[in-house]
Amino acid sequence: MSTATADIYRPGLEGIIACETAISSVEGRQGAGGLEYRGYPIEELAESATYLETAHLLLHGHLPTQAELDAFEDRIRAARAVPEPLIELLRNVPRHVHPMDTLRTSVSVLAHYDPDLAASPTDHAANVRKAERLIGQMATAIAYRERIERGLPLLAPRDDLDHAANFLYMVNGEVPSETKRKAFDVSLVLYAEHELNASTFAARVTVSTLSDLHSGIVSAIGTLKGPLHGGANEEAWKVLEQVGDPDKAHAWITAALGRKERIMGFGHRVYKTGDPRARILKRYCQQIAHEAGEDRWERIAEPIEREVTAQKHLPPNVDWPSARLYHYLGLQIHIYTPIFAMARVAGWAAHVIEQLDHNRLMRPRARYIGQPSRDVEPIEARG
């Protein structure tokens, strides 16, 4: 057997092109860096398109006309109702279980009740229908579990509210102000897709065996959970709390970096000079904090950013401002990463569908660094 391919080795697959995609690019215009979904700059989408317009773009390949958007929103609204056995299960999962674990289980359960359960994994139209249903269902599953955690009655989805406002209403029991709705919707747009990040890669690997869309999304949720990926938005909030005072930022960051700790919410495998999503979301954080007359966390975040940039040349990533934004929206830390997942499901599903439309089994090689070839000794001779 040839060993030639095993000679190409990069730990963490850094810089390796593992697939072709038409869904998003982190190269930006003329390779100048920046995030684009199907050719549209993220800055313009955040400004001008809602999360559901963006999800339509990712799943269907183009920004919807008004008629297409109306029909798409109707289908998502219809999918907000989840099967009763899932609600029962969400009530019975032990209290201490992390919402990312209950979300992973929820998607598995939703697969059992999906009307396209029997469809071929490569049925493009069925996969799009499954993806659309998951966008509506995952938001409901997260909101219901959160209400159960808080010991509050469940709130039925409201047809008069859009995706962002309905989710905040179903969690908090209040219709958000327009500023809050827009800020949350922008965060969903920014989280919706990001090329071949770890969770998307996991989803594509899973379905490359001709497994089904729901299995790909379950793999992705398990992968997103880790603190080096989606779990960082929860950890970023803990950094803010631990620093606790703008005047303590210098000493806290110096000590943490001295202990070789990672400052969560900073650094990125691809964006070495700055994550464009962080710049966009920071403006919304500042606006909401200003309107609420509560700028304490903005005042703490600022010197932390300065210190990490000065001492380690690491700019913030999207999880840094999103942690503050979700705090301002009255959301508890443990649903920050599930919110990331409820937005990213559009991107994950688009990648799953793209993979299945042009499938090739993903099966890389490993370089063997263990013992040289040897004979098995009889058990009496081992020791």
Question: Would you please indicate which residues are annotated as catalytic (active-site) residues?
Answer: 268, 319
Which one of 157-165, 241-249, 287-295, 315-323 is the stretch in contact with ligand ACO (CB under 6 A)?
315-323
For 149, 219, 301, 313, 315, the CA distances from 310, given in Å and listed in that order, are 40, 37, 14, 6, 9
- Number of residues lying near ligand ACO (CB under 6 A): 18
Least gap, CB of 196 to ligand ACO (angstroms): 12
With binding defined as CB under 6 A, does residue 263 bind ligand ACO?
A: yes
Per CB under 6 A, which of residues 69..128 are in contact with ligand ACO?
none
Least gap, CB of 319 to ligand ACO (angstroms): 5
Which residues, 6+ apart, have CB-to-CB distance to 144 below 8 Å?
Answer: 82, 87, 90, 154, 170
With binding defined as CB under 6 A, does residue 250 bind ligand ACO?
A: no
From CA 231, how far away is CA 225, in angstroms rounded? 5
- Run of H or E residues at 35: none
From CA 186, how far away is CA 183, in angstroms rounded? 5
Instruction: Kindly tell me which of 59 and 343 has the beta carbon lying closer to ligand ACO.
Output: 343
Least gap, CB of 316 to ligand ACO (angstroms): 8
Locate all alpha helices (DSSP H) within 61-123, ordered by sequence.
66-78, 84-92, 99-113
Instruction: Kindly tell me which of 168 and 263 has the beta carbon lying closer to ligand ACO.
Output: 263
Among 267, 315, 338, 347, binds ligand ACO (CB under 6 A): 267
For 78, 142, 323, 336, 354, the CA distances from 87, given in Å and listed in that order, are 17, 11, 28, 21, 31
Which one of 61-69, 214-222, 264-272, 279-287 is the stretch in contact with ligand ACO (CB under 6 A)?
264-272
Locate all alpha helices (DSSP H) within 93-162, ordered by sequence.
99-113, 124-149
With binding defined as CB under 6 A, does residue 281 bind ligand ACO?
A: no
* Contact by Cβ (8 Å): 40, 57: yes
Among 176, 230, 303, 315, binds ligand ACO (CB under 6 A): 230
Least gap, CB of 202 to ligand ACO (angstroms): 13
Residue 34 DSSP SS3: strand
With binding defined as CB under 6 A, does residue 185 bind ligand ACO?
A: no
Among 181, 229, 282, 351, binds ligand ACO (CB under 6 A): 229
Instruction: Kindly tell me which of 192 and 289 has the beta carbon lying closer to ligand ACO.
Output: 192
Backbone angles phi, psi at 27, to 5 degrees: -85, -30
With binding defined as CB under 6 A, does residue 319 bind ligand ACO?
A: yes
Which DSSP state fits 334? G
The residue written with tokens 């209290």 in the block is 95
Burial class (CB in 10 A: 0-12, 13-18, 19+), 245: exposed
Per CB under 6 A, which of residues 12..41 are in contact with ligand ACO?
12
Query: Hey, what amino acid is at 212?
Result: D
Least gap, CB of 260 to ligand ACO (angstroms): 7
Burial class (CB in 10 A: 0-12, 13-18, 19+), 269: middle
To the nearest 10 degrees (0 to 180), the angle between helices 336-357 and 99-113 is: 40
Among 45, 218, 220, 314, binds ligand ACO (CB under 6 A): 314
**Which residue number has the CB closest to ligand ACO?**
267
Least gap, CB of 320 to ligand ACO (angstroms): 7
With binding defined as CB under 6 A, does residue 232 bind ligand ACO?
A: yes
With binding defined as CB under 6 A, does residue 317 bind ligand ACO?
A: yes
The residue written with tokens 């059992």 in the block is 112
Which one of 25-33, 157-165, 245-253, 316-324 is the stretch in contact with ligand ACO (CB under 6 A)?
316-324
Among 42, 109, 131, 264, binds ligand ACO (CB under 6 A): 264
Q: Which residues bind ligand ACO (CB under 6 A)?
A: 12, 228-230, 232, 262-269, 312, 314, 317-319
